[in-house]
Structure 1
Amino acid sequence: MRTRTTARAVGSLFIIATAAGVLSVALPGSKATSGLLVLIMAAAMAMIPPLIFPVLRQHSEQLALGYVVARTVEVVLVLPAAVVPLTGVDLAYDTWGYPLSSIFFCLGALLLNSALFGSLAVPRPISGWALIAVLPYTADALLVMYGELNLSSPLHAALIAPLMVNEMVLAVWLLAKGFTAAERPPARSAAVQ
């Protein structure tokens, strides 16, 4: 797949995953609709790492592999959010599933944006913003995990918003501009004059 096509596909998948995730909690409706939206979100999330892997690998194979692993674990942890409501069993997903999947989301964002920052595949302000915004998002996940914050709190929204907005900015950038090739410094002449 060409790099421009890859960028557009990845940008589209980021938007699909975010839109499906937001709609799964924002739309009043049946549990089946919510579950279906979470499945769409999980499918989009699962397709991003294999698509972007070749781009990230050019900079760092370790970061690229780490991103694939982190996003895979995140998807596995998100899937119960689609299934649990349909079973009628109360497993308190919000108290364990959300924070655990969020921690792996943050790890994935850290690995992805470290690779993007180092490779200059996107402008550094975008990837740098994500590297900073991952901190409050991680704090949110830990606060929820330890029962100090609930998902309906305005503080929850404030802590996750910077990284969520950043991900949409990255998605729009990829759709509009694609990945940029890092400029390499000119090679020095080996001949001594």
Structure 2
Amino acid sequence: MTIRKTSARVVGALFVTATAAGVVSAVLLGPGDQASTPASAGALMVLIMAVAIAMIPPVLFPILKEHNEALALGYVVARTLEVVLVLPATVGPLMSLSGAPDDIVRIVTGTYDVWGHPGSMVFFCLGAAILNVLLFRSGLVPRWISGWALIAVLPYLADAGLVMFGALAPFSAIHSVLVIPLALNEMVLAGWLLTRGFAVTTAGAGYKRR
């Protein structure tokens, strides 16, 4: 197995891990008692998600920089900022477990819900856009996958803005409708990387079947 194919499989596995942990954390950290066992487990899931997200750019960077190093660096920065904004989701439950006053816990969790969560979504969208522009231009994966992502990122970004400014609840049905297309695309990309890997390309070349 080549290093390139191994990298593709690692990235695919990390995408699946991050998404699975994110879904579980959203369920466990829904409205409820921040000192509860589910909330604490949800905080752990957020940590797992953040670690998986943080590992994706270093694995992808050597491959992406062959096609555009500036955009590859931009992807690293966007996903790093996403992780920074996601990590505070672990703080509220941990503060509750440590016996912090409820008023302080509510302020921390409320601030994260209003700004941290949608802010991380914005940088997730920026990272997804950069990654899929690179994938589309390079042909590392079939262009229908990256093209789908570039379209799906728009409702996801709209959702982040609506949540940030209080026009939409983060656990509403509309929220799910807006984010599912990009989330599904990421799982399709992960499945492709796990089973087929990256195409062998040169700068400006399209996807080639192997």
TM-score, normalized by the shorter chain, greater than 0.5: yes
Residue 60 (structure 2) pairs with residue 41 (structure 1)? no
How far is 1:133 from its partner?
A: 0.5
**Which aligned segments of 4 or more residues in structure 1 are displaced greater than 6 angstroms?**
183-186
Q: Distance in 2 between matches of 1:47 and 1:182?
A: 24
How far is 1:94 from its partner?
A: 1.4
Residue 5 (structure 2) pairs with residue 4 (structure 1)? yes
In the alignment, which residue of structure 1 is the partner of 2:71? 63
Pick closer, same or farther for the CA change 1:155–1:40 going to 2, 3 Å: same
SS of corresponding position for 2:19: helix
Q: What is the 5 A alignment of 1:151-162? A: 151-162=170-181
Contact 2:47/2:90 (<8 A) preserved? yes
- After superposition, give the CA deviation of every residue in 1:102-155 in whole Å (9 maximum; x if it has no partner): 000000000000111111000000001001110000000000011100012111
For the aligned residue pairs, the C-alpha RMSD in angstroms reads: 1.7
In the alignment, which residue of structure 2 is the partner of 1:143? 162
Q: 1:119 aligns with which of 127, 131, 138?
A: 138
- After superposition, give the CA deviation of every residue in 1:15-43 in whole Å (9 maximum; x if it has no partner): 00000110112248522211111000000
Contact 1:120/1:180 (<8 A) preserved? yes
In the alignment, which residue of structure 1 is the partner of 2:127? 108
How far is 1:182 from its partner?
A: 2.5
- After superposition, give the CA deviation of every residue in 1:79-109 in whole Å (9 maximum; x if it has no partner): 0011222213112121111110000000000
Contact 1:31/1:86 (<8 A) preserved? no
SS of corresponding position for 1:59: coil
Amino acid at match of 1:174: L
Contact 1:71/1:108 (<8 A) preserved? yes
How far is 1:183 from its partner?
A: 6.2
Structure 1 gap ranges (5+):
187-193
In the alignment, which residue of structure 2 is the partner of 1:30? 38
In the alignment, which residue of structure 2 is the partner of 1:190? none
Q: Distance in 2 between matches of 1:153 and 1:34?
A: 19
Structure 2 gap ranges (5+):
30-36, 97-104, 206-210
Q: Distance in 2 between matches of 1:70 and 1:83?
A: 22
Q: Distance in 2 between matches of 1:127 and 1:38?
A: 26
Instruction: Provide the TM-score with structure 1 as the length reference.
Output: 0.92
Q: Kindly, what percent of the aligned residue pairs are identical?
A: 59
